Amino acid sequence: MIEKYGWSDRQRTAFAEHALAGLAPGRVVLQHRDSYLVATDEAELKAEASGRFVHEAREIGYPAVGDWVALALNSQDGSATIHAVLPRHTALVRRAAVDSARQLQILAANIDVVFVVTSMNADINLRRIQRYLAAAWQSGARPVVVLTKSDLSADPEKQAAEILASDPGCPVLIVSARQASGLDALLDQVKPGETCVLIGSSGVGKSSLVNAFLNEDRMATRAIREADDQGRHTTSHRQLILLPGGQLLLDTPGIREVGLIDAEDGLDAVFDDVELLTRNCRFN
């Protein structure tokens, strides 16, 4: 079962020392405030971090959806305890809320493709797209711009060309979940066993894309308000979803602003005229 969630030689090598300690591997597929759902070889289990792990974890070291973890399994009640997080090969990071005890927050771990999603309505904003692209490049994953609701645009190809010109190294795809157009080209960007994540402002169509990928109404959707072309968040928790084609999609609540942490590499990839943050950030 665990192979379906992207388990590979990379993870197997990193897990070797934990295997010697009698622990089992798993991947975090759902995150709540104080608990997790993890996929293991046997089943999906509810898990909590061990007291020692919580005590020793740095502010960015807590498990996130997409993480590979080392577990102690409890056969009596079908639960598990997280004792370690394997090294992350990519991570999408933002600033936590001002009143949060932690300054940094991992939105997605071990991702291969970041879909930067924006709606082709009156609110399309190149500057906002560039900020999301900076965070995507900095994560270490491959960014792809996704222009949704193409049926709302008078000239979608022209808008796509303008965005492509701002970052020629990043693919720009036009889709419409309502018309079921462009979805195959979107999934072609992600190989079976790879993990993608959708980021973008609320109401731009991320939940509609998830529903289209699954051919079911898994996620609640809400239309953009006509008065100001803004939307409201429709996803309330982070989860890793196995798609019919074998790809994995990490769905995360709508993000209005991505706080870039040490995003110098990402910023250089898209624009140069912002103040670079100098605070160090390490994924592991």
pLDDT tens figures, 91-135: 988 766 555 545 677 878 999 999 998 888 766 788 888 888 888
List domains and CATH numbers for the chain: 2-87 (2.40.50.140), 106-270 (3.40.50.300)
- Long-range contacts, stretch 156-164, CB < 8 angstroms, 24+ apart: 156/120, 159/120, 159/124, 162/126, 163/126, 163/129
pLDDT tens figures, 145-158: 999 887 777 788 88
Query: Is it the case that residue 216 has pLDDT exceeding 50?
Result: yes
Select the more confidently predicted residue: 276 or 213: 213
How far, in Å, are 12, 62, 87, 229 from residue 15 at the CA level?
A: 5, 17, 9, 47
Select the more confidently predicted residue: 214 or 40: 40
In eight-state DSSP terms, residue 275 is P
pLDDT at residue 110, rounded to an integer = 96
Measured CA to CA, the distance from residue 131 to residue 91 in angstroms comes to 16
Whole-prediction pTM value?
A: 0.79
pLDDT at residue 248, rounded to an integer = 95
pLDDT tens figures, 218-236: 555 444 334 334 444 344 5
pLDDT at residue 60, rounded to an integer = 53
pLDDT at residue 122, rounded to an integer = 61
- Beta strand ranges found along 12-67 (DSSP E): 24-31, 36-39, 44-49
Q: Which amino acid is it at 163? A: I
